[in-house]
């Protein structure tokens, strides 16, 4: 693959953009501990609603989708680089996933919504698919993106639409967060997040079709690497321009349908799987708008200078993801400052912006003197342990 440095710059910047958007969302939602402070003025409540709706419209379900897509792309780059040297990267990748799972467990202690452990588990499915033909990988990825399990639920529900179904099981676990998040005992928070919280998050991802979606995005990211879609060329530029137009056109009806389904379908049994499918497709369509728009702007001289500011954050995405969990939980949870009681979405956004700026400053400073971020360096060194 040619123009490796060019490709990596846009990938790093895109990953940095995703990590900042995740930071903003996490602060608005108090790092998964939803709580509305008392005595909020009416004007502030209105601003809160606008901020909440806007951030989740733009980033909700899309930022993590970008992360998943880039995870598959990164796997291809590593696999391809080693293959050129006559090495099979897959055994080393399996070890790398186990290391990622360990990082995820540390992160989960502070923030139950951790995605690293889930990526580490699903990542193992990339290993047997790494050498499949591009056409085969494409059809597998497309099949997974169609959410086959939810379609099974949908057609089953049509057989008995009046059947009363229980609330999603994950809600039970999330409801128990109030037993340990407000406490000032950090050990209880860790235990609660790693047990009750972890089960709840795994169930939520399964209930919302994220498992199939994540693997699908891994595979599409791998295909993007095979097709050199992030290498600067006229061909890739045309691809992303077409993707931007098509994804934007598709997103509009998907979004309108998603918001109207509850009015059209009265049966919760039928509605729930359809809503999961629609939400997944709507998020992916907008994710493609973000990726293609970002990639095209990155190739413009003026926007390149601005967007490239995200690159150091992207190079340190693992460190940033875990650091923001440690800092965020210390700000909002009971064992820290307990600001969940006082911060509405407006204040959460302001805190998120300040933390993002500080994070950006730290990353730019760090990358001037180091090749990898602090946790990336550990991950890299342990990945290649036993080699010269």
Burial group, residue 29, by CB count within 10 angstroms (0-12, 13-18, 19+): buried
Question: pLDDT at position 67, please?
Answer: 95
The alpha carbon torsion through 226, 230, 233, 239 (nearest 10 deg) reads: 80
pLDDT of residue 208: 95
Alpha-helical (H) ranges within 300-344 are 301-307, 311-315, 317-332
**Which residues fall within 8 angstroms of residue 227, CB to CB, at 6 or more apart?**
134
Return phi, psi of residue 346, to 5°: -60, -50
What pLDDT score was predicted for residue 273?
96
**Span 106-141, pLDDT tens digits:** 999 999 999 999 999 999 999 999 999 999 999 999
8-state DSSP, 166: P
Question: Looking at residue 39, what is its pLDDT?
Answer: 84
At residue 388, the pLDDT reads 62
Place of tokens 């969940």: 340
> How high is the pLDDT of residue 31?
95
Q: Is the separation of the CB atoms in 23 and 352 below 8 Å?
A: yes
To the nearest 10 degrees (0 to 180), the angle between helices 198-207 and 116-123 is 60
pLDDT of residue 1: 34
Neighbours of 256 (CB within 10 A): 11
CB 193 within 8 A of CB 112: yes
d(CA 90, CA 124): 9
Tokens standing for residue 7? 């490709």
CA pair distance 87, 98, nearest whole angstrom: 20
106 vs 326: CA distance, rounded Å: 10
- pLDDT score, position 180: 95
Contact 302/173 with Cβ under 8 angstroms?
A: no
d(CA 123, CA 111): 21
Q: Which residues of the chain have pLDDT under 70?
A: 1-7, 388
Domain positions in the chain are: 4-383
The predicted structure's pLDDT at residue 344: 94
pTM attached to this predicted model = 0.94
- pLDDT value at position 387? 79
Contact 203, 210 (CB under 8 A): no
């Amino acid at each position: 693959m040619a123009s490796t440095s060019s490709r990596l710059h846009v990938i790093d910047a895109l990953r940095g953009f995703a990590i900042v958007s995740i930071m903003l969302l996490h602060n608005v939602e108090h790092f998964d501990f939803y709580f509305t402070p008392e005595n909020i003025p009416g004007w502030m409540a209105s601003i809160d609603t606008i901020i909440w709706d806007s951030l989740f419209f733009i980033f909700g379900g899309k930022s993590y989708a970008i992360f998943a897509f880039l995870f598959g792309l990164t796997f291809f780059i590593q696999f391809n680089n080693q293959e050129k040297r006559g090495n099979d990267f897959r055994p080393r990748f399996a070890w790398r996933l186990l290391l990622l799972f360990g990082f995820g467990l540390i992160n989960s202690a502070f923030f139950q919504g951790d995605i690293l452990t889930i990526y580490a588990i699903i990542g193992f499915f990339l290993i047997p698919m790494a050498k499949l033909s591009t056409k085969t990988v494409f059809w597998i990825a497309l099949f997974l993106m169609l959410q086959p399990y939810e379609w099974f639920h949908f057609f089953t529900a049509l057989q008995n639409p009046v059947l009363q179904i229980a609330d999603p099981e994950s809600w039970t676990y999330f409801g128990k967060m109030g037993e340990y998040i407000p406490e000032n005992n950090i050990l209880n928070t860790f235990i609660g997040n790693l047990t009750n919280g972890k089960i709840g998050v795994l169930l939520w991802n399964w209930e919302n079709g994220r498992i199939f979606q994540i693997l699908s995005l891994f595979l599409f990211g791998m295909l993007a690497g095979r097709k050199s879609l992030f290498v600067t060329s006229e061909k890739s530029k045309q691809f992303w321009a077409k993707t931007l137009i098509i994804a934007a056109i598709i997103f509009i009806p998907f979004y309108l349908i998603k918001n109207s389904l509850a009015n059209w379908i009265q049966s919760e049994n039928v509605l729930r799987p359809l809503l999961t499918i629609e939400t997944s497709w709507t998020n992916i369509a907008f994710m493609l708008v973000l990726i293609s728009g970002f990639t095209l702007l990155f190739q413009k001289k003026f926007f390149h200078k601005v967007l490239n500011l995200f690159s150091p954050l992207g190079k340190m995405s693992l460190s940033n993801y875990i650091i923001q969990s440690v800092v965020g939980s210390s700000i909002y949870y009971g064992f820290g400052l307990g600001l969940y009681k006082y911060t509405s979405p407006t204040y959460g956004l302001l805190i998120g912006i300040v933390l993002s700026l500080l994070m950006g400053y730290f990353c730019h400073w760090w990358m001037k003197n180091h090749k990898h971020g602090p946790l990336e360096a550990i991950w890299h060194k342990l990945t290649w342990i036993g080699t010269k």
